[in-house]
Amino acid sequence: MACQGRSIRATNAAIMTSAIYPGSFDPVTFGHLDVISRAAHLFDRVVVAVAVSESKSPLFMLEDRIAMLSESLEGMPSVEVIPMEGLLVDLARSHGIFTVIRGLRAVSDFEFEFQMALMNRKLEPRLETVFLTPKEDYTYLSSRIVKEVARLGGDITPFVPAAAASRICEMLRRAV
Ligand code: ADP
């Protein structure tokens, strides 16, 4: 019995686990970073996929959103940031990664996330969605509320990484 257990562990050790974390990240917040760091503990490789999200009319261009994330994730070599155009299932197939990470802050997130998870699995039966919950301090945090606070002149440094905070302020200065 003991020998069998060892061989199962040895086989598993050779399997590299990967997951995709998709979103708009307009902009990245400490809530997103919390989810990414939890995912990085669970998976060998985490691919953060930044959606073009044209229909959401993002405040930041795709390149800026990617840059803010990449700067914030320096020092996490198992995490990479890529752009995502089109369907998540197509990205999953092209990368051969069928685990998707999403964050669940509160019950209010549940209905949308549940619908998305089931639709994605309908489109690609191999796809599984794993939900991670952030530290309590970040459950109220969203990109939308951060942009609102910044627009009204509030201090956003407790909510977003430094690289994002300076870009958001710069963006709003230009918009005035
Ligand atoms: P969307 O994918 O809807 O454009 P976001 O880019 O804001 O949304 O977020 C990507 C994912 O991260 C979603 O699953 C969202 O629920 C989750 N998320 C956003 N903010 C937080 C937070 N503060 N804590 C945990 N998860 C979060």
CATH number where 27 lies:
3.40.50.620
Residue 10 within a domain:
no
143 is catalytic: yes
Q: Give the domain range for residue 50.
A: 17-175
Q: In terms of C-beta density within 10 A (0-12 exposed, 13-18 middle, 19 or more buried), how is residue 81 classed? A: buried
Q: Which residues contact 96 (CB under 8 A, 6 or more apart)?
A: none
Torsion of CA 39, 51, 168, 55, to 10 degrees: -140
Residue 6 within a domain:
no
Residue 161 Cβ < 6 Å to ligand 1: no
Strands (E), 98-149: 99-103, 128-132
Q: Is the pLDDT of residue 4 over 60?
A: no
Look at ligand 1, atom 16, and give the residue with the nearest C-alpha. 103
Tell me the pLDDT band of 12, cut-offs 50, 70 and 90: low
The model scores a pTM over 0.85? yes
Q: How many domains does the chain have?
A: 1
Residue 3 within a domain:
no
**Alpha-carbon dihedral sign for residues 105, 107, 112, 117:** positive
Pocket test for ligand 1, best of 30, 105, 156 (most atoms within 8 A of CB): 105
* Average pLDDT for the chain: 91
93 is catalytic: no
Residue pLDDT, tens place only, 104-116: 998 889 999 999 9
Residue 136 within a domain:
yes
Residue 91 within a domain:
yes
Residue 134 Cβ < 6 Å to ligand 1: yes
Residue 162 within a domain:
yes
Residue 151 within a domain:
yes
Residue 58 Cβ < 6 Å to ligand 1: no
CA–CA separation, 87 and 97 (whole Å)? 14
Look at ligand 1, atom 26, and give the residue with the nearest C-alpha. 103
Residue 12 within a domain:
no
Residue 65 Cβ < 6 Å to ligand 1: no
**Alpha-carbon dihedral sign for residues 163, 166, 170, 171:** positive
List the structure tokens of 148. Answer: 């609102």
Residue pLDDT, tens place only, 115-132: 999 999 999 999 999 999
Catalytic residue among 24, 143, 147, 167: 143
